[in-house]
Amino acid sequence: MAASPPFRLKGSLVTLSILKPLSTDLSAIDAGLAAKVAQAPALFDRAPLLLDLADLPDAEALDLPGLRALVARLGFVPVAVRGGGDTVASAAAALGLGVLGEGRLPPDAEPAPPPAQEEPLPPSATANDASGPDAAAQIAPAPTRLITQTVRSGQQVYSRGDLIVLAGVSPGAELLADGHIHVYGPLRGRALAGLRGNTQARIYCRALEAELIAVAGCFQVAEDIDPALRGRPAQVFLEGEDLVTAPL
């Protein structure tokens, strides 16, 4: 009997955070990125990061080791560089970073959020290798999680499928779901739908008063949400690369 292979090597599409420097000034990048991370630290913690230098005219002048250290200090995990020419590619390889061609990844892929703390997240799609004609039938849909009580400040609730909350969500509470999020009460905390990159996921709530809303990694903080929708029934969804809030 032939021995089982020790590994499987396969290609897959994955979701990455993408940083596009528009300047070689690392101090400015540091300040701006730190402010962005401070708005939603859990969203970016240990997030794989692609450094996209395709739109940086003087990419060769960029201190790539410094940029790599900067993003790592802020909690990202830099994995690859795209664009910038051969000199940048050589510098990236010397740093142990991958080098992606211009056509290897769709532009502006959305960030991959970090694992939730309340339940362990499922393995990523790259780790699942169902095969055979009955593979699809063997994969059960992720269950919907139902919460009947108020989600209080400091609590974090995660669902592998859709998440339904029949009560309110307090400030400082956090909802995370791979699917849709439904809140049948005031949404005053944070809600992150499409946690595994599902761009079709939506957030629905009776009263939009959220501190942060996100779909597939594209997020808005309270200051960015349309003031006309504050406190009103609303839905949140992606339209192309834009996060849209609309009345229900």
Does the residue 64 lie in any domain? yes
pLDDT of 125 strictly over 70: no
Going by pLDDT thresholds of 50, 70 and 90, the confidence category of residue 140 is low
Which pLDDT does position 122 carry in this prediction?
47
Give the domain extent around 50. 17-100
For 72-119, the DSSP string reads HHTT-EEEEEE-S-HHHHHHHHHTT-EEE-TTSS-TTPPPPPPPPSSS
* 133 compared with 201, residue with greater pLDDT: 201
Give dist(CA 149, CA 165) in Å, integer: 7
Asked whether residue 58 is assigned to any structural domain, the reply reads yes
- For residue 40, what pLDDT is reported? 74
Q: Which of 100, 121, 136 is the last residue of a domain?
A: 100
Number of structural domains (the chain) is 2
Contact 185, 166 (CB under 8 A): yes
pTM of the prediction?
0.55
Note whether residue 191 is domain-resident.
yes
Q: Is residue 1 part of a domain?
A: no
CATH number, domain of 76, equals 3.30.70.260
Domain at 225, CATH number = 2.160.20.70
What is the per-residue pLDDT across 165-197, written as a single tens digit (0 to 9) for each?
A: 999 999 989 999 999 999 999 999 999 999 888
Asked if pLDDT for residue 72 goes beyond 60, the answer is yes
pLDDT computed for residue 15 by the predictor = 60
